Structure 1
Amino acid sequence: MLGPTYFYVIIGGGLAGLQLARQLSRDVFFKGKKIAIIDSDFSVPIKTWCFWEKGTGKWDKLVSKSWKNGDFYAAEEKVDLNLSPYSYKMIKAADYHQQLKKELEESGDIVFITDEITEIDQVTLKAKGRNGNYGATHFFDSRVDPAYLESKKHTTIFQHFKGLEVTTKDPIFNPEVFTMMDYRIKYENATSFTYILPVSKNKALVEHTFFTPFLTEDKVYDDLLEKYFQKILKTDDYNIESTETGVIPMTDFPFEEENTLQITKIGTGGGWVKASTGYSFKNTEKRITRIIENIKSGNLPGENLINKRFRKYDAIFLDVLAQNNHKGEEIFSKFYSKNSPQDIFRYLDEETSIPEDLKIMFSLYSFDFIKSFFRKGI
């Protein structure tokens, strides 16, 4: 059975897959080109995406809350973060999926298929699934190659977390100020912190996050969150409205090297997660814009999606954090206390010059970074 043929097949209906399909469907250059989005499960996870940007943006209609000010807490230090002209914006995955699916279904050129793709045959140009085969001129593949877990050359740590969306009896939150990192309650000898997105005086997402080489049990998150509510927020009177959990690989593994004439890796599977932070939303937007430009210019879709200079910076940072995970608080304290939020955002957005990069690197300077520089062979 040959199965249906599409112009493009997008494997994965998550953040990257839906956004790529949306951009393709909105561009007249691709009008009439049939596109299939294939996923084994289109259910929407409970998830929150955050990002920073200047002024208004293309996703503002989906933004449920934004902030102009933030806080960073170390055990003995607080840093006030005035973000202007940036805003820190929050989008809920449910709103994102609902809106993009609605747009794509109305476009007429997008087909949603529930199936698990097991292989892409680059000779026959077929994506092989459990339920059928799907032909295309090009495949955009968000599946993550597990080889990164076995790589000795590259560094991987995990951003893993549990967040509670809570309502409280008393007005204990400041809805105008979010908490980027709070190290006052943390897991011993590891980089772990609390992250707070306050929606109102009585409602917030309170999340405990780890940047570690190891994963942990659910009870560990629960204990740390309970301590934070009791010792920092000074309350045990709250209702849990929803819970979100996740594990995000932070790695310098070169997923993009799997790109071929017929396949472009996207999303986490394409190395689009910022290795040193775990942020992915704006990176996805930028790389999809580049993919569209590449196709329209006659280039391979996956050409020049990754900035190799910043990949090297991330590799050093990850190695330092992997080798010295107990020093995370010290490293991030230097990062936020010795640099302005505006410079930090430009650096993380990979928009800085080499002299500006060096300024930030020197603010983090320690012998650990020198050792990692040589260990990574950069």
Structure 2
Amino acid sequence: MRLAALAAGLLLPMMTHRFSGLFTSTVLLLFGAAGVAFGLMPWVIRLAWRIDAIDRPDARRVHAEPTPRIGGVAIFCAVNLTLLLNFDYSLALKGATISATVVACLSLWDDLRPLSAAVKLLVQSVALLFLMLCGIHADLGNSLWWWPLEFVITALWMIGITNAFNFLDGINGLAGWLAVVVSLLMGLLAWHTDQEYMLKLCFAVAGGALGFLPDNARYRAPARTFMGDVGSTYLGWIMAAIALMGDWSSEGVVKSYSAPLLIFSVMIFDMIYTTVARIARGDVRTLRQWIEYVGRDHLHHRLMDMGCSQAASVVMITAFTLLMGLAALAIIKSSLFATWLLLAQAVVFYGVLSFLMLQRR
């Protein structure tokens, strides 16, 4: 079955040109990437055992058995192969996939053989610069005077979303389902606004994450693999790049930036909440401590402390993301007043969620 899925996954991207409808042909990329990821996973799992890329249980982790942690390799191989075999690329699509692959490989190497902070910063900076040269960056205007500020905003967004997504990779299925939902939401926006290459990238990413889930989102049996930092880094980076790649609205800054912020708002909320809480407790005092600190205080941990199972926590957080994503879809056709109302609704929602989380400290 795995070989059949792999073969079908490699074949489907080459068949997209036979279909006239953009949405129909792009759906083939989703199933193609899912097939490749699902088909490659047994080989990636065997490789993990061979090179000892294994997560072993400890007091911080919720799993009970040693588990391979490089399942993300199959995800980025699936996405990249699917797009490559489609033989239709834009400069922005190349920038997003190549830069995401570079930072994912850096993460994999650092996981197996730790690198110095200087080396990691250098490689990440090169990947970020390459991304911007491919046209993916915060757009503040045509003047060169804005370029330094655009670089800073782009860097903060890319690093922030990548880390926020990594923080939520804490229980089986959560990161995978979030990647599927977020990518499909951005894909629907891309389809609605006729952004062909963004649509292809979104559906390929969703497919890669979907093909990973059968080996990870298991609640009655141990997960066969985790995506690991290599997977969460790749998915976080490429989804953040897609958000910058998209032309969300031509009706002003508020609507243009509100849509991606709402889609990513669950990740952003979790990162801000845990950061503020850790600083308040005195657990984090420097940027390095913030990056390296690990604890059981994320949104999924809080939900489990409230009595939710792993599966229920995944469903709830995914539902929160879908709820905010539907609001983002509504913004595209809404008036400016309605946009502000939807943003106010999100603020109230996260205010209530913060209150509930504080009650369980």
* TM-score of the pair, normalised by structure 1: 0.29
Give 1 or 2: higher strand fraction: 1
Give 1 or 2: higher helix fraction: 2
Bigger CA radius of gyration: 1
